[in-house]
Amino acid sequence: MTQPDNQLGDAQPERGPGDGAAVPQHHAATVRSAAQALADAVTLGPFFAVCEEPGPDWVSWAELVDGDPLKRRISDVRAALAAGPEVSDVDPRVAASIAHLGLVARLVSPLLGVALSGGVLPVAPPAGVRLLLAGGNPLPVALLEVRMVRAGEPDAVAAALDREWLRPTVHPLSARVAALTGLSRQVLDGNAVSAVAGALRMAATARPSLAGAVGSVLDAVLTRGSLAGTGTRRDGGAFVRRSCCLFYRLPGAGTCGDCVLG
């Protein structure tokens, strides 16, 4: 389910003209269109859904980064991977990488879905991102204290995603995983760009009319901002990351479609 108008939070005063400015509070029609964009994004697939309210057992992204929930999530993912056929044990770094990739993918998908569908990017603080860390993806996610910033053009989508989400929310998670497990930032930044590219690919698959914008957003992410240089395009145009998520280390797993080893 998506958030109704009164769950969007108060829109912030306008910071200035053009993309990246906050939606002005007195433009009620704009706020309504943002709520419509949240609803519209759900049609892109389950990874793009946002729940109205978190439940009692949910944790915030801030708690995930600073406390024990991240350790528990990595442990749960490791147990799930170890339950596969011909798998007796799983390298903790492999489990940490897969858990990290899944968390980032679940976070960025609805954000990009809204931006592509409605020309605005939802923004919430780490404490306002709530997740239920149970089972496989797509994990239930809720966004609290939400404001909307304009992101009408592909370059503006990429810039706002980097400014409002990658730097303050995703990269601290990556740093925490690196500190806990010894995974390199090259692997973790590769996971982040893979999550972004995967969300964009799902959006274009679900709604082919978005393919042009999706390609332009991806190119902007790959060439500018904090994930610049973490991926590129193959000769045929398909995305490929410049690192590996380590999934291939599981027996019989092979490599992912965007893997540098593929």
Question: By C-alpha distance, which of 141, 93, 148 is closest to 117?
Answer: 148
As a whole number, the mean pLDDT across the chain is 85
The predicted pLDDT at position 39 comes to 74
Tokens of 26: 């007195």
CA distance 4 to 32: 9
CA distance 58 to 236: 42
CA distance 82 to 140: 23
Kindly state the helix (H) or strand (E) to which residue 201 belongs, with its residue range.
Answer: helix 185-206
* For residue 12, pLDDT beyond 70: no
CA distance 116 to 128: 22
Per-residue pLDDT of 63-117, as tens digits, reads: 999 989 999 999 999 999 988 777 778 999 999 999 999 999 999 999 999 999 8
User: Average pLDDT, stretch 52-66?
Assistant: 94
Per-residue pLDDT of 201-233, as tens digits, reads: 999 999 999 999 999 999 999 999 999 999 999
User: Dihedral through CA 76, CA 67, CA 173, CA 38, nearest 10?
Assistant: 80
Q: How confident is the model at residue 13 (pLDDT cuts 50, 70, 90)?
A: very low
DSSP state of 31: H
Say if residues 131 and 42 touch (Cβ distance below 8 Å).
no
The predicted pLDDT at position 89 comes to 85
User: Average pLDDT, stretch 246-255?
Assistant: 81
